Amino acid sequence: LPAGLSQWFPALEVLDVSGTGLTEMGTELLSLPCLHTLLAKNNRLGGPGSLPKGLEQAPLARSLRVLNLSGNRFSEVPPALLQLRGLRSLSLGGNRLHGIPPDIQELHSLEFLYLGGNFITAIPPELAKLPSLRYLVLCDNKIQSIPPQLAQLHSLRSLSLHNNLLTYLPREILNLVHLDELSLRGNPLVVRFVRDLTYNPPSLQELAGRTIKTRNVPYAPSDLPESLVRYLSLASNCPNPKCGGVYFDSCVRQIKFVDFCGKYRLPLMHYLCSPECSSPYSSASQSSTSQSESDSEDEASVAAHRMQKVLLG
């Protein structure tokens, strides 16, 4: 960046240095107290010293709202960016990122996050702790699964996951009640799955916990050690409507297809309490039972008004 930038333009609010071959941004940037939009796309940023030292302490850390560093050479999200607490829009698409740092949760004001076109393989659960996030773009990566915690993104309106390696979606995604757009094209969301019925027998603690929960055995917090009280609070209900059981750690993972908008069938992940509970949920096989089909239709009626646009093709 040119020296004396802050002296020439002390009230500068928008700076666009995209496509200029930049390899670093100097300390002149730190002296722009009014800057709220910084666009530095399609440069050669990403090496040591690409960003000025002291960025997190500068006035810019409080004023900046929009930062676009797409089309550069960053192999990781610079830690200094995670200190820009007023940031509302962050774009790092088309870089060389292999992961998303858990500290992304510190950007509480973030509404738009674009990380498409990288080499990201996993989504950290901490991403779900962004209360204002409305648009999340993770397309064109190598993501294989979606953490169920993403269902906590209650403000999310658009989720772009196309061209990844997804084979199923967590059932919890149905809780994204404000989602208008879900992009899934280019993923191996195939219609044939081998059901994994590998099942580790439950521990004695789990068997006791299941008994207490299913038979409503009364207890007070003072009756049990604090660790056991906490354990009992973690019980999950088996989704099989004919079961009524619970599980803690020992469960059976299974795929079930659910209709969205009456047109698409998406594979959602279920966790059942035992292999015996899998028969009513055999929609992953060619011979789906009528019970399974009716369950899918019931869920579709609930989900149809939630998903306005599902992009698969």
pLDDT digits (tens, 9 = 90+) for 282-306: 333 333 333 333 344 444 444 444 4
Which H/E stretch holds residue 214?
helix 204-214
- Compute the distance between CA of residue 48 and CA of residue 305 in angstroms, rounded to an integer: 48
The span from the CA of 265 to the CA of 272, in Å, is: 21
SS3 129: helix
Dist CA 126 CA 137 (whole Å): 16
Contact 282, 241 (CB under 8 A): no
Closest CA to 143 of 192, 173, 100: 100
- pLDDT number for residue 282: 37
Over 50: is that where the pLDDT of 31 sits?
yes
Residue with tokens 């646009």: 309
The two structure tokens encoding residue 209: 């916990």
List every span in the chain annotated with CATH 3.80.10.10.
3-190
* 199 Cβ contact list (under 8 Å, min separation 6): 250, 252, 274, 275
Say whether pLDDT at 280 is over 70.
no
DSSP designation for 201: P
> Tokens in use for 50?
């690409």
Does the global pTM surpass 0.95?
no
Cβ–Cβ < 8 Å for 199, 250: yes
Lowest mean pLDDT among 82-91, 99-108, 189-198, 244-253: 189-198
Percentage of residues of the chain with pLDDT beyond 70: 80
Residue with tokens 């006791």: 208
How far, in Å, CA of 12 to CA of 39, rounded? 13
3-190 under CATH 3.40.190.10, yes or no:
no
Check residues 102 and 170 and name the one with the higher pLDDT: 102
13-22, 63-72, 137-146, 253-262: which range is least confident on average?
A: 253-262
Position 102 pLDDT exceeds 70:
yes
Provide the token pair at 265: 């069938």
Distance, in Å, from the CA atom of 41 to the CA atom of 20, rounded to the nearest integer, reads: 9
The one-letter amino acid code at 135 reads Y
Query: Alpha-carbon distance 113 to 251, whole Å?
Result: 34
Cα 170 to its chain centre, rounded Å, is: 11
Q: Which of 142, 105, 148, 100 is nearest to 124 (CA)?
A: 100
Distance CA 19, CA 72 (A): 10
Whose tokens are 């500290």? That residue is 103
Alpha carbon separation from 152 to 15, 133, 149, 256 (Å, rounded): 34, 11, 6, 22
Question: 39 forms bridges with which residues in the sheet?
Answer: 16, 68
